[in-house]
Amino acid sequence: MIPAINLGFPRMGAARELKKALESFWQGKTDEKFLLETAAGLRKRHWDLQKDAGIRAVPCNDFSFYDQVLDTAFLLGCVPQRHRAVGAEGSLAVYFSMARGSKDAPAMEMTKWFDTNYHYIVPEFEKDMLFRLSGDKVFAEYEEAKAQGLNAVPVLVGPVTFVLLGKAKHEGFSVKDTVAKLVPVYAEILKKLAEMGAAEVQLDEPCLVTDLSEEARAACKAAYEALAGAAPGLGIRLATYFGALGDNAGLAFSLPVDSVHVDLCRAPEQLEACIDAAGKTGKALSLGLVDGRNVWRNDLSASLALLEKAAAKLGKDRVRVGPGCSLLHVPVDLELEESLDAELKGWMAFAKQKLAEIALLARGAHEGRDAIAMELAASDAAQAARKSSPRIHNAEVEKRLAAVSSAMLARTSPFAARAEAQRAGFGLPVFPTTSIGSFPQTPAIREARAGFKAGSLDAAAYEAAMKKEIAEVVRFQEEIGMDVLVHGEAERNDMVEYFGEQLQGFAFSKHGWVQSYGSRCVKPPIIYGDVARPRPMTVAWSAYAQSLTRKIMKGMLTGPVTILQWSFVRDDQPRAATCRQIALAIRDEVADLEKAGIRVIQIDEPAIREGLPLRRAGWAAYLKWAVEAFRLSSCTVKDATQIHTHMCYSEFNDIIEAVAAMDADVISIETSRSQMELLDAFVNYKYPNEIGPGVYDIHSPRVPAAQEMVALLEKARGVLKPEQIWVNPDCGLKTRGWPEVKAALAHMVQAAETMRARETAAAA
């Protein structure tokens, strides 16, 4: 039999049971016993589901109370000193303290897992950290599965990826030494698993699809050589995903492991080379053919052809078939989506459906195409229907795209001339103040939105409620003396969903939750067809807000790259093409806002940096289309109309040239937490346009004194020209409460006034 395998399953449960159990445990509403029982129930359900789908070796230890990288740190004794005192070794108290912080121990950092929207806890490597086996989760889960009649495959983050994802907290840290110190602990784990009866273990090494240093490659070689003899009889599956092995292919296949898993969804071009390498080295090749990062139904015929090719060359006993990567990144079950129409559903597959696809492929390759003839025919029909569906193709959009000219990608005049026109038109003081867009989302606002959606609040009542909110934020901003106002974004649930819901080519699931971090889940929109904007999306709200004030009202939009990045996207055309379509839709909105008298328009692009490809070689091409999409969306306006953009949680050094090429008149960035350090990239580059370096952290309810903000602004003033500087918070204020927002923004305006007074005094 060709084994149908799985690399990992979503943990939360179709009804987000784990999220609820975790949050009620953290709030002290339920006890540890309830949490453990909920978790065990979910694991059982998910194992059953995989077994019933025909997955031969199901994974275990892919479950987590928070994150698998944190689990690995915990297991290896990689626990920072500050968390050790919180509770007994191996206790949930220590575990959650690492994840979320506790009284005297701030949480560990969190960052994005490769190019996904999943966040992992960043391991910390302290001096003289003593690594040793200090948890039993992996063994307990293995036993638990066994009790249910399954010889599961325990999954661990491999030693090289684990170390490369971590952060050194001491001088003299070395990747090689740290991996070497961890290997004996891994060896002990493998040995114990083998003794318990495990036949195979999966070591996840997605770092093998990234650019590796010579040191990391040597560390990898040494680690796996040392592990090879640790547990005789236990097979090692080296799992790689999220891209092509590329220049690491030789390394991966030279390691003493039993099978190598490769992601053929993201990198189908590597199949031939991998078949060759597996052939030469006598390894089994595990083919990742079902997309673990997207929601589309598999093209079974096409996948089967690849599998057949591998089986013909290597022999059936030397191939396996599975998802490209863990199914963690897709929702659980399409069957629950009652509100998606049948046609769209016919094109999709969530985790449960993907398992069935994997099993079918294994069967088709083993028994021959005839054995799954009906399923193949259904798959072919679904592919053909999707390809030719009028819901995917919009001739109008395709015509407009073809007509995009280079003139549409550039403003009429260079920045200097635009700045002059804007200065003359706006009459703003130096150090103008503004905010990033959203104001607190109060329970009343949420209730009104929910009521409108559910139909209990009619359109007129909803509009009146939103207008009242807008009027209040406008009045407040006038009172404290802000210069460029915003309408507050009360009508928006989410900065991507809000636009997706008004655009053609987008669909929304009801239960399509995907873990983002810890207990937090997101429900990404699904872009299935050509994107078009049937009518204005924000103009009425912005125009209403402008009608209430003589000050400048800023229009607020989400940029094309961010909309793309935070959605499930089409797999039948390049991301760049989809992005360009979104850009055209945003461009129309920008033009309509300008026509309606909005003279400052902000297009948020917080996700530009996270879209960077994993390999440096792919950066230039990505940045080119991403910048072009932003320019296409923004460059329709007159010189005198000012374009802003906003980016948060970004490191700018790598992308500063692209940021400059976006040519926004003003960019606001998050800089307060780094004490303006993130401004360095702009300073070193001599960034020519205007910048609003965030002067206060919006992630905390703390209200900074005006003096603190003045100190940050002085730092900025030291390295930038005064006429370049805007004064604003780090990001939107929607998660904050009104009392702190009122106080903090009032202090911010005072800080700007202090700066202006100093400027005048210096000139006199």
**3-class DSSP string for 137-155:** HHHHHHHHHHHCCCCCEEE
Question: What distance in Å separates the CA atoms of residue 631 and residue 620, rounded to the nearest whole number?
Answer: 16
- Nearest approach, Cβ of 722 to Zn ion (angstroms)? 24
Q: Which does 734 bind (CB under 5 to 8 A by kind): Zn ion, ligand GLN, none?
A: ligand GLN
Rule CB under 6 A: say whether 438 interacts with ligand GLN: yes
Question: What distance in Å separates the CA atoms of residue 515 and residue 12, rounded to the nearest whole number?
Answer: 7
Contact range with ligand GLN by CB under 6 A, out of 40-48, 176-184, 264-272, 432-440: 432-440
- Nearest approach, Cβ of 328 to ligand GLN (angstroms)? 23
- Nearest approach, Cβ of 446 to Zn ion (angstroms)? 20
Size of the site for ligand GLN (CB under 6 A): 13
Q: Which is nearer to ligand GLN, 438 or 724 (CB)?
A: 438
Non-local CB neighbours of 461 within 8 Å, separated by 6+ positions: 452
- Nearest approach, Cβ of 544 to Zn ion (angstroms)? 24
Question: What distance in Å separates the CA atoms of residue 495 and residue 538, rounded to the nearest whole number?
Answer: 12
Site mask for ligand GLN (CB under 6 A), range 501-540, x = bound: ----------------------------------------
Site for ligand GLN in 542-571 (CB under 6 A): 556
Q: How far is CA 578 from the centre of its chain?
A: 18
Residue keyed to tokens 């606002």: 445
- The candidate with the shortest Cα–Cα distance to 473, out of 428, 497, 437, is 437
Rule CB under 6 A: say whether 604 interacts with ligand GLN: yes
Q: Which residue is nearest to ligand GLN (CB)?
A: 732
Residue keyed to tokens 């805007």: 726
What sign does the CA torsion over 100, 101, 102, 103 have? negative
* Among 731, 741, 751, 752, contact with ligand GLN (rule: CB under 6 A): 731
Structure tokens at 199: 């036949």
Rule CB under 5 A: say whether 731 interacts with Zn ion: yes
Let me know: does 580 contact 599? Beta carbons within 8 Å.
Answer: no
Let me know: does 141 contact 152? Beta carbons within 8 Å.
Answer: yes
The rounded radius of gyration (Å) of the Cα atoms in the chain is 27
Q: Is 170 a catalytic residue?
A: no
- Which burial class, exposed, middle or buried, applies to 71 when counting CB atoms under 10 A from its CB (0-12, 13-18, 19+)? buried
Contact range with Zn ion by CB under 5 A, out of 261-269, 329-337, 599-607, 737-745: 599-607
- The candidate with the shortest Cα–Cα distance to 732, out of 378, 364, 473, is 473
Q: Which does 437 bind (CB under 5 to 8 A by kind): Zn ion, ligand GLN, none?
A: ligand GLN
Let me know: does 647 contact 667? Beta carbons within 8 Å.
Answer: yes
Rule CB under 5 A: say whether 648 interacts with Zn ion: yes
Contact range with Zn ion by CB under 5 A, out of 37-45, 312-320, 322-330, 602-610: 602-610
Q: Which does 318 bind (CB under 5 to 8 A by kind): ligand GLN, Zn ion, none?
A: none
Backbone angles phi, psi at 374, to 5 degrees: -65, -45
Site for Zn ion in 323-352 (CB under 5 A): none
Q: Which is nearer to Zn ion, 115 or 730 (CB)?
A: 730
Let me know: does 623 contact 581? Beta carbons within 8 Å.
Answer: no
- Nearest approach, Cβ of 670 to ligand GLN (angstroms)? 8
Structure tokens at 43: 């694991």
Q: What is residue 728's three-state secondary structure?
A: strand
Q: Which does 238 bind (CB under 5 to 8 A by kind): ligand GLN, Zn ion, none?
A: none
Contact range with ligand GLN by CB under 6 A, out of 73-81, 444-452, 684-692, 729-737: 729-737
Size of the site for Zn ion (CB under 5 A): 3
Rule CB under 6 A: say whether 437 interacts with ligand GLN: yes
Question: What distance in Å separates the CA atoms of residue 642 and residue 419, rounded to the nearest whole number?
Answer: 8
* Among 236, 314, 436, 503, contact with ligand GLN (rule: CB under 6 A): 436
- Nearest approach, Cβ of 698 to ligand GLN (angstroms)? 9
Q: Which does 210 bind (CB under 5 to 8 A by kind): Zn ion, ligand GLN, none?
A: none
H/E stretch holding 691 reads strand 690-693
Q: What is residue 292's three-state secondary structure?
A: coil
- Which burial class, exposed, middle or buried, applies to 230 when counting CB atoms under 10 A from its CB (0-12, 13-18, 19+)? middle
Other residues' Cβ atoms within 10 Å of the Cβ of residue 460: 8
Question: What distance in Å separates the CA atoms of residue 696 and residue 745, rounded to the nearest whole number?
Answer: 9
Q: Which is nearer to ligand GLN, 271 or 727 (CB)?
A: 727
- Nearest approach, Cβ of 735 to ligand GLN (angstroms)? 9
Contact range with Zn ion by CB under 5 A, out of 85-93, 205-213, 642-650, 696-704: 642-650
Question: What distance in Å separates the CA atoms of residue 370 and residue 376, rounded to the nearest whole number?
Answer: 9
Site mask for ligand GLN (CB under 6 A), range 116-145, x = bound: ------------------------------
Contact range with Zn ion by CB under 5 A, out of 3-11, 158-166, 260-268, 606-614: 606-614
- Nearest approach, Cβ of 440 to ligand GLN (angstroms)? 11
Structure tokens at 584: 């055209």
- The candidate with the shortest Cα–Cα distance to 21, out of 364, 475, 408, 519, is 519
Please give the full DSSP string across 143-190, using - where no structure is assigned.
HHHHHTT---EEEEE-HHHHHHHSEE-STT--HHHHHHHHHHHHHHHH
- Nearest approach, Cβ of 606 to ligand GLN (angstroms)? 4
- Nearest approach, Cβ of 239 to Zn ion (angstroms)? 34
Contact range with ligand GLN by CB under 6 A, out of 17-25, 688-696, 726-734, 752-760: 726-734
Name the active-site residue from 329, 487, 699, 747. 699
Question: What distance in Å separates the CA atoms of residue 57 and residue 344, rounded to the nearest whole number?
Answer: 31
Let me know: does 430 contact 723? Beta carbons within 8 Å.
Answer: yes
Contact range with Zn ion by CB under 5 A, out of 4-12, 145-153, 166-174, 644-652: 644-652
* Among 10, 123, 500, 732, contact with ligand GLN (rule: CB under 6 A): 732
- Which burial class, exposed, middle or buried, applies to 534 when counting CB atoms under 10 A from its CB (0-12, 13-18, 19+)? exposed
- Nearest approach, Cβ of 670 to Zn ion (angstroms)? 6
Q: Which does 3 bind (CB under 5 to 8 A by kind): Zn ion, ligand GLN, none?
A: none
Q: Which is nearer to Zn ion, 219 or 648 (CB)?
A: 648
H/E stretch holding 369 reads none
Site mask for ligand GLN (CB under 6 A), range 473-502, x = bound: ----------------x-----x-------
Q: How many residues are recorded in the chain?
A: 764
Rule CB under 6 A: say whether 734 interacts with ligand GLN: yes
* Among 206, 488, 606, 729, contact with ligand GLN (rule: CB under 6 A): 606
Q: Which is nearer to ligand GLN, 154 or 732 (CB)?
A: 732
H/E stretch holding 496 reads none
Rule CB under 6 A: say whether 646 interacts with ligand GLN: yes
- Nearest approach, Cβ of 734 to ligand GLN (angstroms)? 5
Q: Which amino acid would we find at residue 214?
A: E
Catalytically active residues, by annotation: 699
- Judged by the rule CB under 6 A, the positions of this chain that interact with ligand GLN are 436-438, 489, 495, 556, 604, 606, 646, 648, 731-732, 734
- Judged by the rule CB under 5 A, the positions of this chain that interact with Zn ion are 606, 648, 731
